[in-house]
Amino acid sequence: MTDTKYTIRGETGDWEVVVGLEVHAQVTSNAKLFSGAATAFGAEPNTQVSLIDAAMPGMLPVPNRECIRQAVRTGMAIDAQINTWSRFDRKNYFYADLPQGYQISQLYHPIVGEGHIDISLDDKNPDAHGKRIGVERIHVEQDAGKLMHDQHPTRSYVDLNRCGVALMEIVSKPDLTSPAEAGAYLAKLRSILRYVGSCDGNMDQGSMRADVNVSVRKPGEPLGTRTETKNVNSVRFVMAVVEQEAKRQIEVIESGGKIVQETRLYDPDRNETRSMRSKEDAHDYRYFPDPDLLPLELDGAFLEECRASLPELPDAKRRRYEAQGITAYAASVLTAEVEAARWFDALLEAGAAPVAAANWTTSELFGALNRTGKDIETSPVSPAQAAELLGLVADGTLSNTLAKQVFEIMLETGQGAAAIVEEKGLKQTSDTGEIERVITEVMAANADKVAEYRGGKDKLFGFFVGQTMKAMGGKANPGVVNDVLKKALG
């Protein structure tokens, strides 16, 4: 991250942008927040609805212990205050996809208090140019259902499958000051959630979405009036919302208008935000403690179990890799997605040397997966097979060139590296007698170039190396070739 502050040039000078994100993350659990109904994505409408979700008379909610556990583990992962006493509130509003007429949330006493997330815009050196973004709170709440307007020409249908699904609302402080910072924060938060296992982070399926709060101000002035753009479902779109909404607000202010606190929607096709409704305040929802739910009280044993279950998190894993000699950039790439980090850990456990393994994984493996449209979980090459291939390079059996040939065959067939080397006869030779014989032939066929080299044209050395390797089908050990050539050429 550079030290240059992000500003937007308007007609009246520079403007600063202030951004806060409210991220709704669907909790990975075995059921909904207050019922035993399933939460599978893509199910037929209204097939995952219990009597509680449908708000049938006399139904009482019961908190799902796993949902509470996942929220606490998430709080611990961002070094947040865990509140051992929290309470559920009713947020009252009427909408057709909300059968109860209220949403159960946690306005006044959330389960998780203040924490932080460290971001960086510099993959090459994440620690040198980082920034700490404050997290104000995490509270748990139930999701609403969904209206479907495209099923009938004159009617809207209601799908209650999502009604009652457990959400964590993760509220940042207004510490973000550019589209890039907002994108980096959301990406880092998603990475942490997926490492912890508390949310799958599938933004395209709606299991993680962001409400983007944006305001603008002249440098040094108080915070401006903010707008909230709802349900933005990708890192790229969050960055676009910050940029476009900031520019819109500046144009409004500079043309003599005023920014209204309101809720807006983002249209990715037009890359613009549009007004949805005026922004409600807390008192508009008539919050009060939910009379059907006792306060949550967390004991020490529960908190200890939550903390003990946390995995190694992205920043700690990255620093461990760097301590093994892996570059900061490669470590950052390897730890960005939890599946890639697990695959790489398995590669190291199989005996691969860290630096060689990191270089090979980030270049050869990721390049091949990208080329073939696969991801790390569907890789045709397992960590154990990759370790075998790298071991053959390390012990001199394969040159880097031959290793690439073997890897391509592994991708196509799923065979192990040693079996391919044996079957195809691809073993690198370090036989100095054979190499000397070939070099003698190469020099005899290029006597004029030998004379030029000996007359001072040192750059011709590469020519002789290339000719020797070509004559030996790429199977000669390059180090031995170089040594023998130097002696032969004098």
Q: What is the pLDDT of residues 425-471, one digit of tens each?
A: 787 666 678 788 889 998 999 989 888 888 888 888 989 988 988 88
Note the pLDDT of residue 4: 62
φ, ψ for residue 104, nearest 5 deg? -85, 120
Whether the predicted pLDDT of 323 surpasses 80: yes
Give the pLDDT band (50/70/90) at residue 2: very low
Cβ pair 336, 115 in contact under 8 A: no
CA distance 112 to 135: 10
Q: What is the pLDDT of residues 330-379, one digit of tens each?
A: 999 999 999 999 999 999 999 999 999 999 999 999 999 999 999 999 99
Strand locations in 35-112, DSSP E?
85-86, 89-92, 102-105
Note the pLDDT of residue 468: 85
Give the pLDDT band (50/70/90) at residue 483: confident
Mean confidence (pLDDT) of the chain: 93
Cβ pair 29, 64 in contact under 8 A: yes
The whole-number average pLDDT for the span 82-98 is 96
Q: What is the pLDDT of residues 146-197, one digit of tens each?
A: 999 999 999 999 999 999 999 999 999 999 999 999 999 999 999 999 999 9
Q: What angle do CA 41, 293, 80 make, to 5 degrees?
A: 70
Note the pLDDT of residue 431: 66
Integer CA distances (angstroms), 18 to 138, 153, 176, 239, 242, in order: 21, 42, 6, 13, 9
Q: What is the pLDDT of residues 191-209, one digit of tens each?
A: 999 999 999 999 999 999 9
Neighbours of 64 (CB within 10 A): 21
Give the pLDDT band (50/70/90) at residue 279: low
CA distance 90 to 378: 44
Residue 403 tokens read as 């290793």
Integer CA distances (angstroms), 110 to 68, 71, 290, 306, 391, in order: 11, 10, 13, 17, 52
Cβ pair 312, 320 in contact under 8 A: yes
pTM as predicted: 0.88
Cβ pair 303, 72 in contact under 8 A: yes
